[in-house]
Amino acid sequence: MESLFIEKKFAYDGSQLRSLFAYLEHGVLGPSIISWQGACDIPFTHMVDGEDLLAKAVIESDEMLHFIIEIFDRDLFAGVALQRMFASIARDYLQKHAAAVLNGQSLMREGDDIYWNDRKLSISIATKSPVSVMVHFAMNVTNEGTPVKTLSLSDLKLNPAKVAEDLMHLFKTEYQDILIATQKVRPVN
Amino acid sequence: MESLFIEKKFAYDGSQLRSLFAYLEHGVLGPSIISWQGACDIPFTHMVDGEDLLAKAVIESDEMLHFIIEIFDRDLFAGVALQRMFASIARDYLQKHAAAVLNGQSLMREGDDIYWNDRKLSISIATKSPVSVMVHFAMNVTNEGTPVKTLSLSDLKLNPAKVAEDLMHLFKTEYQDILIATQKVRPVN
Amino acid sequence: MESLFIEKKFAYDGSQLRSLFAYLEHGVLGPSIISWQGACDIPFTHMVDGEDLLAKAVIESDEMLHFIIEIFDRDLFAGVALQRMFASIARDYLQKHAAAVLNGQSLMREGDDIYWNDRKLSISIATKSPVSVMVHFAMNVTNEGTPVKTLSLSDLKLNPAKVAEDLMHLFKTEYQDILIATQKVRPVN
Amino acid sequence: MESLFIEKKFAYDGSQLRSLFAYLEHGVLGPSIISWQGACDIPFTHMVDGEDLLAKAVIESDEMLHFIIEIFDRDLFAGVALQRMFASIARDYLQKHAAAVLNGQSLMREGDDIYWNDRKLSISIATKSPVSVMVHFAMNVTNEGTPVKTLSLSDLKLNPAKVAEDLMHLFKTEYQDILIATQKVRPVN
Amino acid sequence: MESLFIEKKFAYDGSQLRSLFAYLEHGVLGPSIISWQGACDIPFTHMVDGEDLLAKAVIESDEMLHFIIEIFDRDLFAGVALQRMFASIARDYLQKHAAAVLNGQSLMREGDDIYWNDRKLSISIATKSPVSVMVHFAMNVTNEGTPVKTLSLSDLKLNPAKVAEDLMHLFKTEYQDILIATQKVRPVN
Amino acid sequence: MESLFIEKKFAYDGSQLRSLFAYLEHGVLGPSIISWQGACDIPFTHMVDGEDLLAKAVIESDEMLHFIIEIFDRDLFAGVALQRMFASIARDYLQKHAAAVLNGQSLMREGDDIYWNDRKLSISIATKSPVSVMVHFAMNVTNEGTPVKTLSLSDLKLNPAKVAEDLMHLFKTEYQDILIATQKVRPVN
């Protein structure tokens, strides 16, 4: 699994969640996780979460830290499981690195979301392209421009680029470790 | 997904990790998670983790809280991902419910293991039967009879049966939620 | 598997055979079978059966009882097999409930069609979306507006809404029963 | 799909339900359906239906018409669906060819079984080998030696070898037709 | 697997690489290989090779011998492996039938390409449609209009239609042979 | 993909064709190709090729160069395709490196075999374990002890260890290249 932090900021509008985005736009080939900072504003035409579509949800934020994961040869179930692993890894990381701010309180992962009490840090969706499964995961960098009560990396006093590099490293390690776990075990009856 | 806590104690020797164990021995049909308490002693003939086999690892404990998860129609990659989800769910649960003992320190999930500093709470393996993927996950109830420095539910002042019921409930919810997430999303290109 | 009979009549023009139609238009989540009444007129742009396309077939009827089945995580082969199961279930049901009209003669299922001698009751297609396999099956409510010699539920003196509810119930039971049959069997060598 | 009626009678004891039985014992290569006549007596060691195992079911008959279907590259769900298609095809065939005996009454398919009122004609199981999915389906030729109230081909005044040839032909046609239906359809979104 | 050599010449512009092209345009149903002669000019809108897209590659030739292979129920990995088998079969065939011209020198297959020293004979891509995997493979009939140093069937003194018929025959045989090899082998542990 | 040439000679008797052989016996983890020299003598109990079993074939040689390939998460069809790719790669390599001996004549690949006229160089089988697909491919190092007319690496004046290292390198490159080809292509409709 390759990774890339894209220095240039750009907005996420949902159209980035397409197969080979990392390869065709940023030269990152194969299973990958990429990250960048930018606004978030997803029109209904690009919204893929049926629940959000039915709820006519507004998904906006002035500045988020975005991640797109793409893996090949897996079904959507595995994609959703990896999405939640990423949320879990992020929660554990933020808990540790924002300990001073959190002051003994716990961040909570619920499904693919991370919360601090009723403040929502993140949004995420996992979906399927004809050649891959893909995850978008994003955390607020700021609380500006969000339609609900949010938590942001600014609140946690964390540097987005550093968080991105660290989380991508942790996720790559986990992914590789999961893969190895499928190749070193004897079958049972 | 069905679940069952088996009241009767019995030892885990690896032979329980076989397809339809929950159904044929305990009447639990379909995707399932079951749990019970008992000793753990896995001879090499039933050891399926190649890494343990190569290391000639001793896997023993006088009393553990065992879980066996079985799901159908998924590949081993998804099985390993679910195994880690279970470890993550267990970590979060124990962190919350043993807060008084942990005293502000964090339990850590590493791969499929849970640690408190250098004390290992759990063992786990995910493997494949011809009809399903299966996970064994077990946490020490006591530190007696373990070959390494361990942590146990006793240390955490937690009741194993209660932990079992709660974790099975949380896992079933997560599993169902993952499944729904694969059935409510539009594909991308 | 969820089911829904939609009270409001609307025409089927092929565009309804798209992934998540039941969820996004009618709130029915997951594997599902839905049904409604309405005209049928499928333009070539929405026709997915290559055989019909090559034959430049006219597919029209003034009033049909429509069904759309959607299942996830299965290949098209399973989708076609379920389509034929549905046709078989429908045949058996109609044979029993229209006994007085049929007067000892048998309805015949041939592939995905149901016939009474040379009179065709139904049309059907199974196809694949990027996230699911889907079946459209429809029976004439009337013989008006059909391009071939047809049989209709009116001929059989049957109430479409009752037929819909009954067939959806029977199909859900069969589907659930098939699923269970995959989860209670030991593998062979 | 190839087929073969084996002239030589031999008993079915469950051990015939193994991969490549048709090829290695009877030279029939690839997806296949074979048939023969013989007693049926399945000891628990060869019983693969978990439900029968839990019920400690006795599965015996002095003379049955056996079928074994083997297909490759499909999951067990498709195997079970084909099993039920076979039962449906058999029901329709027997209804037509034993019309004089049945005297206007209907044979009923329920899941993988065929009944005439409370008289059971058939037994069946679908399972998975490491390289294929397999179905055993058998109909009583006589009612001798059966543990429950049964119906037999003798009751229906039908010649077992003729029934075997006809059903194998019908099933091959249906299988081929299902396969073609997966190769002539355009995908939807 | 069916095959067809289309007598009428037409240009390949990438739009032919779509599911059911052989069936809907030329009546060839199921797994297939078809071939025809014509120019080649692939605009970026129809270019599917990400490497070519990134390189802004020009893919043109005044006259090529085109092949499109379509198979169902396989993943893209198998599609790419078949693509390379086709290249290997073509190399072996051309080596034998153009021996006089090649004069003891060897054609070389590299990945999906065939070379004579630095002269490139062929282009190819394998991709996935929602219902199949597809391969386009084409060899220059002439060296006119190609953007790089090329080899052509004219150089090799070979008749394109004869080459097409022979290669399609050889590929069908290989495909069928691979399929049989998956249906005559016992599993291992 | 990892590779290993095992310096120690040992006989191949078919029992080496089991999942995780490379990992559990030689520490090579994940998709792999390993090689060694040794006699070959496969008793019927370990013979997995149904064709050989039916023919009661004798498979023996005093000294062969053995290869075992194991890949995960692929079906047997892909395994057989890779087996033939390996045979093709071997043929091309031997043609080039034994040019002096072959004296302008061509080695021929037929299915999974390599021939020089009527002299058979190699044997091979591809099969499936519950967790992987596996290939055994072996070339005669000597013609001693073979039941048919054979060709050997000795005839070709080639050093087995060198051939092993070179072919493993070429195969790893091809495998990696195939994998990349599945991850850089846009889907079609």
Which pLDDT band holds residue F81 (cuts at 50, 70, 90)? very high
Nearest CA distance, E76 vs chain C (angstrom): 15
| Euclidean distance between CA atoms A143 and D11, whole angstroms | 75
Q: Which member of B23, B73, B187 has the closest CB to residue D75? A: B73
User: Does residue D180 belong to any structural domain of this protein?
Assistant: no
Q: Which member of F50, F128, F189 has the closest CB to residue D23? A: F50
Which pLDDT band holds residue C178 (cuts at 50, 70, 90)? very high
Q: What angle do CA E111, E112, E116 make, to 5 degrees?
A: 85
Helices (H), chain A: 21-26, 50-55, 76-97, 99-102, 160-181
Two structure tokens written together for C65: 């009882």
Return the percentage of chain E with pLDDT > 70, whole number: 100
- What is the rounded average pLDDT of the residues C178-189? 97
SS (H, E, C) D118-185: CEECEEEEEEEECCEEEEEEEEECCCCCCCCCECCCCCCCCCHHHHHHHHHHHHHHHHHHHHHHCCCE
Distances (CA, A) of F162 to A135, F1, F5: 45, 19, 10
Give the β-pairing of D122-129 and D119-120: unpaired
When divided into structural domains, chain D yields a total of 1
- What is the rounded average pLDDT of the residues A119-127? 98
- What is the rounded average pLDDT of the residues D113-131? 97
User: Does residue F105 belong to any structural domain of this protein?
Assistant: yes
Which pLDDT band holds residue D110 (cuts at 50, 70, 90)? very high
- What is the rounded average pLDDT of the residues F98-116? 96
User: Does residue E40 belong to any structural domain of this protein?
Assistant: yes
Enumerate the residues of chain A whose CB falls inside 8 A of the CB of residue C131.
Answer: 76, 128
Q: A137 has which bridge partners?
A: A67, A124
Q: Which residues contact B127 (CB under 8 A, 6 or more apart)?
A: A185, A186, A187, A188, B17, B48, B76, B79, B133, B134
| Euclidean distance between CA atoms F12 and E172, whole angstroms | 33
Give me the amino acid identity at C65: L
Residues of chain B predicted below pLDDT 70: none
Q: Which residues contact F179 (CB under 8 A, 6 or more apart)?
A: A30, E77
Return the percentage of chain C with pLDDT > 90, whole number: 99
On the 0-12 / 13-18 / 19+ scale of CB atoms within 10 A, E151 is buried
DSSP class of residue B46 equals: G
User: Does residue A66 belong to any structural domain of this protein?
Assistant: yes
Return the percentage of chain E with pLDDT > 90, whole number: 99
DSSP class of residue B159 equals: -
User: Does residue C185 belong to any structural domain of this protein?
Assistant: no
Domain of residue F125, residue span? 2-175
A27 touches chain F (CB under 8 A): no
Nearest CA distance, A103 vs chain B (angstrom): 9
| Euclidean distance between CA atoms F112 and F161, whole angstroms | 21
For A133-167, how does the pLDDT look when each residue is reduced to its tens digit (9 = 90+)?
999 999 999 999 998 999 999 999 999 999 999 99
First to last CA, chain D: 32
Mean pLDDT over the full length of chain A: 97
Q: Is the ipTM of this complex over 0.90?
A: yes
Q: Which member of A23, A72, A129 has the closest CB to residue F182? A: A72
Angle, helices C76-97/C160-181, rounded to nearest 10 degrees: 130
Asked whether the beta carbons of A101 and A156 are under 8 A apart, the reply is yes
Q: What pLDDT score was predicted for residue F6?
A: 98
D20 touches chain F (CB under 8 A): yes
Which pLDDT band holds residue D183 (cuts at 50, 70, 90)? very high
Phi-psi group of A117: left, alpha or beta (phi > 0 → left; psi -120 to 50 → alpha; rest → beta): left
Which pLDDT band holds residue E87 (cuts at 50, 70, 90)? very high
Asked whether the beta carbons of C31 and C71 are under 8 A apart, the reply is yes
| Euclidean distance between CA atoms B112 and B151, whole angstroms | 15
A154 touches chain C (CB under 8 A): no
E88 touches chain D (CB under 8 A): no
Two structure tokens written together for B46: 């039933």
Phi-psi group of F90: left, alpha or beta (phi > 0 → left; psi -120 to 50 → alpha; rest → beta): alpha
CB contact under 8 A, D183 and E129: no
Q: Which member of B50, B75, B129 has the closest CB to residue F23? A: B50
User: Does residue D181 belong to any structural domain of this protein?
Assistant: no
Nearest CA distance, E189 vs chain A (angstrom): 8
Q: What pLDDT score was predicted for residue A52?
A: 95
Overall residue count recorded for chain E in this entry: 189
Token match 């389906």: residue?
A: D137
For C40-96, how does the pLDDT look when each residue is reduced to its tens digit (9 = 90+)?
999 999 999 999 999 999 999 999 999 999 999 999 999 999 999 999 999 999 999
CATH of the domain at A137: 3.30.930.10
Q: Neighbours of A (≥3 Cβ pairs closer than 8 A)?
A: B, C, E, F
Which pLDDT band holds residue A35 (cuts at 50, 70, 90)? very high
C50 touches chain E (CB under 8 A): yes
User: Does residue E180 belong to any structural domain of this protein?
Assistant: no
E54 touches chain A (CB under 8 A): yes
Overall residue count recorded for chain B in this entry: 189
Return the percentage of chain C with pLDDT > 70, whole number: 100
| DSSP E strand boundaries for F108-173 | 108-110, 113-116, 119-120, 122-129, 132-140
E19 touches chain A (CB under 8 A): no
User: Does residue D29 belong to any structural domain of this protein?
Assistant: yes
B78 touches chain D (CB under 8 A): no
Q: What pLDDT score was predicted for residue B66?
A: 98
C125 touches chain D (CB under 8 A): yes
- What is the rounded average pLDDT of the residues A13-17? 97
Enumerate the residues of chain C whose CB falls inside 8 A of the CB of residue A53.
Answer: 24
DSSP class of residue F131 equals: T
Nearest CA distance, E29 vs chain A (angstrom): 23
Give me the amino acid identity at A48: V
Asked whether the beta carbons of A98 and A152 are under 8 A apart, the reply is no
